[in-house]
Amino acid sequence: MKEEIIKLDKVDKNYILGDSIVKAVRNASLTIRKGEFIAIVGPSGSGKSTLMNLIGALDLATKGRIFLEGKDIEHLEESELAVIRGNKIGFVFQTFNLIPTLTALENVTLPMVFQGFSKEERIERATELLKDVGLEERMKHLPGELSGGERQRVAIARALANNPDVILADEPTGNLDSKTGKHILEILKDLNKKGKTIIIVTHNLEMARKVDKIIKIKDGKIVK
Amino acid sequence: MKDFFFLAFNNLKRRKLRSWLTILGIFIGIAAVVSLISLGQGLQSFIHEQFEQVGGNKILVSPKTMMGMAGSATEEELVLTEDDLKAIRSVTGVEGAEGIVTRNSIISYKKESEVVMVAGMSEEYVEIFGNIDALKIIEGRQLRDSDKSNIVVGYNHIFGNLWDRKLKIGDDLEIKGKEFEIVGVLKKQGNPADDNAVWMEKETFRDLFDVGDNEGTITVKVKEGFNPDKVAEEIKEELRDERNEEEEQETFSVQTFSQLLETFNDIFAVVQVVLIGIAAISLLVGGIGIMNTMYMAVLERTKEIGTMKAVGAKNSDVLLIFLFESGLLGLVGGAIGIALGIGIGKAVEYIATAQLGTPYLQAVFGFPLIIGALIFSFIVGCLSGILPALQAAKLKPAEALRYE
C-alpha cells in the first residue's frame, strides 16, 4: 500500500446562499494514495466541485477533518494554505484560467513567482515544462493567440511549475473537442506514469473509465 | 517585489484607455500643485530679493488714503508737510529723511501727449538712498537741486515705445506749459508706471503743480545700530504730537520694510493655502478616480484573483499587486503632472517676462519639489488603492474561482 496523500474524514461543507443553507458535501470520507489516478464523477450540482475545492485546500470544511500528507489543514491560516496550494497541488481548470495579459511562458512562471524563485530558475523550468507539453514554439504567445488545446497544455505546464505531487483537474477536457480532449488526457496519464497523483473531476463517464479508481458523488454524498 | 511591479504594470497596460483617464485625474492636480508652488516660490524669492536690496533699515511714512477714513478728514489734513519732515528728522535714530511728491500729469513731446507719473525729488534723497535700483542712471546724469528746467526720465522714453520716435538726452518735454530738457535715463524697472515716469527737482515740482510744502511720501533711513521698528514707533509718537492727533486716529501711517515684508508674507501664505487647497481638492477627486478604477478592476478580475490564489498567491501577494497597480497610476500621473506643471510654470514665467519686461516671476523648480510631488502622487495612488486591494486580498479562492 502506498502512502496516503489526501484523506477526508467525515467532511461536511455547507454554503449559505441567501437565507438557505446548501449542504454541498455531506459526511464524505475518502483516501487518496500517492500515484493514484482518480476520477470524481457526478452530475452537475452533485457537489463534486466543492469536493475538489476541499481536496485542493481552496476551501475549508464546515465539519470533519481534511489531511494533506497526514497534516490536518483545518486550523491553518490563509497564507499557509496558499503555500500548500502553491507547492503541493497543481490546478487545471475547465476554463483554463490563464492570465490573459501574460505570455504562455509568464503564465507558467507565475506559481514560482509566489514561491520566490529567481527569474533565471523560473524561466529555465517553465521553458522545460512547455517543451514537455510540445509548446516550445508558442512560449511568447498570449493565451488569446492560442487554441483551446494549447491553452490547456499551458495550464498543465503551469500546474507542474512547483513540481507538486498532486494534480487536480476540474473538467480538464470540458471545453475541448474530443480529439484534443484525448490528447490532454494522454498527457495527464503520462504524468501519472511519472509518479504524479492525478485527480480528475468530471461528469464524463467515458473519460472516467480510463482511470484507476472512480469516486461517485451524488447529492453531496459519496456513493462509490 | 519586482515581479509584482511587472504584474501590476501588465494589468495597467491591458486597459490602456481606462488607465490613462484615471491618470488624467491625478496629473491635473499634481500639475496645479507643482506650477503653483514653483511660481509662488519664485515670486516670494523675488520679493525678498527686492526687500533686501531696498534694505531693512528704511521706514516709509505716508498719509493715509481717503479710503477707510472718517468722513470728517479733509484732503489738507492728509498731507505730509515740511513740518512733519522736520519732526521726523528730529527723532533719535533717524539718519536722514526725504519726501517724494508725485502727480499724474499730461506731458507732451512735439504734437504727442501722454499721461505719466511726474515725481519731485531733492538731491538729498539721492544722497541718502542713491544706492537703490529704482534710482540707477544708465545714461546721462542724476538730478541736482540746481536743475530748475531739467528732468530725468524712465527707461521707456529713450529705449521703449512711449513716443513715436525714441527720445535722447537733450530732447525737450513739455509739462504743464513748461519745457524741460532730459539729462538722464533711469534703469528699466519692468513696470510701465516707473518706466514711463518723469523726475524733476522737488521745489520746481511744487511750483509747477502748486502743492505748497507737500512732501508726498517720506522715506526714512535709520542709523546703524537702531532698531527700525522702535524708531518707527518713535516717529509715530512724534508725528502725533506735532499734528495733534489721537492714537489710533492718525491720518498718516508709518511702516518699516520688515513690517511690509511681514504683511506680504501673511497675504502670500493665505493665497498659497487657498491655491494649494484647490489643488488638493482636484487631487482628492483624482484619488477617488483611482479608487473607482481599482474597484472595477477587482470585480473584473475576481476569477483571475482566484486563479492566482489557487497557484499559491498569498493574500499579501494579491494585496501588493493591487497596491502597486494603484500606486503606479499615481506615480505615472505624478510624473506627467510634474512635467506639465513645469511647462505651465515656465509658460507663465515667459508670458510674465514678455509682459513686464523684467523677470519678476521666475518659476523655481527645486529638487525637493519634484521628488516630493512624485512621492506624494505615489502615496495618493496607494492610499486610494488600499480599500480595493484589501477587498481583492480577502476574496475566498473557491468563491473567486466560481465568479463569472
Cβ neighbours of B313 in A, within 8 Å: 82, 86, 114
Poorest-pLDDT segment among A83-92, A158-167, B157-166: B157-166
| φ/ψ bin of A207: left (φ > 0), alpha (ψ from -120 to 50), beta (otherwise) | alpha
Residue B73 has pLDDT above 50, yes or no: no
Burial-class residue A116 by CB neighbours within 10 Å (0-12, 13-18, 19+): exposed
- Asked whether the beta carbons of residue A53 and residue B398 sit closer than 8 angstroms, the reply is yes
- Asked whether the beta carbons of residue A114 and residue B317 sit closer than 8 angstroms, the reply is yes
- Asked whether the beta carbons of residue A85 and residue B314 sit closer than 8 angstroms, the reply is no
Q: Could you say which residues from 9 to 48 on chain B have a Cβ atom under 8 Å away from some Cβ of chain A?
A: 10-11, 13-14
Q: How much is the CA Rg of chain B, to the nearest whole Å?
A: 32
Residues of A near B (CB-CB distance < 8 A)? 49-50, 53, 56, 58-59, 78-79, 82-83, 85-87, 91, 93, 97, 99-102, 110-111, 113-115, 119, 158, 161-162
Residue B36 has pLDDT above 90, yes or no: no
Chain A residue closest in CA terms to B312: A86
Which helix (H) or strand (E) covers residue A114, if one does? helix A104-114
Q: What pLDDT sits at residue B107?
A: 92
Query: Mean of the per-residue pLDDT values for chain A?
Result: 90
The answer to whether B79 and B217 are in contact (CB under 8 A) is no
Cα separation, A32 vs A42, in Å, equals 18
Could you say which DSSP state residue A135 is in?
Answer: -
Q: In terms of DSSP bridges, do strands A37-41 and A197-202 run parallel, antiparallel, or are they unpaired? A: parallel
Residue B68 has pLDDT above 50, yes or no: no
- Asked whether the beta carbons of residue A110 and residue B308 sit closer than 8 angstroms, the reply is yes
Cα separation, B326 vs B384, in Å, equals 7
Which residue type occupies B289?
Answer: G
Which of B306, B328, B327, B300 shows the shortest CA–CA distance to B318? B306
Q: Could you say which residues from 282 to 341 on chain B have a Cβ atom under 8 Å away from some Cβ of chain A?
A: 303-304, 306-317
- Asked whether the beta carbons of residue B315 and residue A82 sit closer than 8 angstroms, the reply is yes
Give the confidence band of B360 by pLDDT, cuts at 50, 70, 90: low
Q: Domains in chain A and their CATH numbers?
A: 36-59+77-222 (3.40.50.300)
pLDDT digits (tens, 9 = 90+) for A89-142: 999 998 999 999 999 999 999 999 999 899 999 999 999 999 999 999 999 999
Residue B307 has pLDDT above 90, yes or no: yes
Query: Mean of the per-residue pLDDT values for chain B?
Result: 87
Residue % of chain B over a pLDDT of 90 = 38
Cα separation, B220 vs B128, in Å, equals 9
pTM more than 0.90: no
Q: Is some CB atom of chain A closer than 8 A to the CB atom of B390?
A: no
pLDDT digits (tens, 9 = 90+) for B126-149: 888 876 778 888 989 998 889 999
- Asked whether the beta carbons of residue B315 and residue A78 sit closer than 8 angstroms, the reply is yes
DSSP alpha helices (H): ranges in B249-314? 257-300, 302-310
- Asked whether the beta carbons of residue A85 and residue B11 sit closer than 8 angstroms, the reply is no
Choose the mutation target among B14, B311, B319 for the interface with A, i.e. most A CBs under 10 Å: B311
